[in-house]
Chain A
Amino acid sequence: MAETRVLRHARIDRLLHWLMAVAVLVLLATGFLPALGLKFDWVVAHWVAGVALIGVFLVHLGRVAWRRSAAQMLVRGRDFGALRGARDAAGVPLRPGKYTLAQKAMHNVVAVAALVAMVSGALLLRKIDLPIWRRDPYWLEAATWGRIYVLHDLAALGFVSLVVLHVYFALRPEKRAYLRAMLSGWMSEADYRAGHDPAAWQPERVAGSGHGDDGR
């Protein structure tokens, strides 16, 4: 008998996640490898990946606004209770809604780092020739450019740590259901019931064929 599955990530959300991942990895490689001694012409790949990241981010924001789903990432008191294994008045263990406290924290820290990197990066585009304008390094004072570089570098360095932690926790055996959900869209009804509060997250059920991609 086919297992019951719930839809965790729609196909468009998975696509946006993986596009962001590719863009971030290209940005980190083109940003840090030349500074660490591997010389190559990195500027074009860096700004193209940065503009792509801004585009994907805006699509994601538009989708969140359209679905009014921003509240899913708000950290709530029950998230801390679920983390420490607390129970409600009826003795039922507290469980998170769609996202655990750790997932919310990772998302929100990444969002802040991405915003800083994208805004500062967009300003730094003024210092390079693009198809739509000629570079103008005197657009801002040198000291102001320096502060923008500090913010851009800080966000980029933060992403070095965040990528390592994100990949590590995604590969943990006990997090396998979440990795599979980001690849195929679904998680099993059993994983959903064990790890999430049905009162706080009511996902759509999807057909479970035992193989293939059933995530919409």
Chain B
Amino acid sequence: MKGNSMADAAVLTGEHFMTGDVACAEGAIAAGCRFFAGYPITPATEVAEHTAARLPDVGGTYIQMEDEIAAMAAVLGGSWAGVKSMTATSGPGFSLMMENIGLGLCTETPCVIVNVQRGGPSTGLPTLGAQGDMMQARWGSHGPYEIIALAPMSPQEIFYQTIEAFNLSEIYRLPVLVMTDEIVGHMSERVVIPDAKKIKTIFRKKPSGRREGFKPFLAGPDGIAPMPVAGEGYRIHITGLTHDEQGYPAMTAEAHAAMVSRITGKIRNSLDAITRTEAFMLDDAEIVIVSYGCSARTALAAVEDARRAGIKAGMLRLITVWPFPEKRIRELAARVRGFVTVEINLGQVHLEVERCAGGKAPAVLVGHAGGTIISPEEVLQAVREAFAHHG
């Protein structure tokens, strides 16, 4: 009976009024996360606090590590011990986690890292929101890699996207990022948690058969190798060095190309399955606002304002910022008058929009360094200008 009561306790079915940070923690627990290695940092601390209080009730464990480097290392260790593991942080901590996120990518370790973004660089604006870590999410760890990063726009969505992040990490055997922000993390809204049976959770593909001579990185055509965990008798060797299918170090350019292309291929060959966007009034749109996270809320208001002003505007909301919906932007570029990217930074996703628009449609940015949300008026002004210049 203990098992059942734990399962019931794991999913708080019902209607709640909760912050994004708390909804994130609840999403993780509903997804089956049972190990959280944390380090306090504004504005992500509440994810750790809530998880610390909740995990023991469901058979999980929270530990507060000595820094974010240790937290990320412990998360990888937890995952290799066979437990769904996560951490949550903000800019400075995210910077410290980068090396071990790379180890997670190289060793193909499923786990979830939440970044509740605040104003940077450096200590920046601890209590105020920004979206300035989007390129760091993409390229912050050294070397070539692909990454999955989700960007929730509300507490309700962060609940679901945290579950989705775990599922994607378990399917593709990679660390997955939830790139939220202080605004979504600290806002309180209605969050509906469904019945546990309605929540789909996925666990990594496990190996079966002979343990002797087992190759932990021998993958099928999808590039995803079944993942043994420590203590099951496979006697695996796992290293952050470039390695072969056996997991043994292989110091050649050929081995490196084979390993990197297989790992990046897991995402590159599944772009349609992973990439998620949401279209809002896009069918007849002439001006496309591209946005994500808290800024998508502003953009949504601006689309409505523009429509009332007689401008055919629409929004492409990025649910996955990485992988970036290149194909979608290229298709739109062939038929629209222009793009307006709305994000709280000085132009990061904007650069991707501009690249994919490929000169076929102009792209402008509405953004600032951080500390406050962007107002719908600023976006509407940019939409008007884009419409007038290219009308």
User: Are A and B genuine complex partners?
Assistant: no
Residues of A bordering B, CB below 8 Å:
none
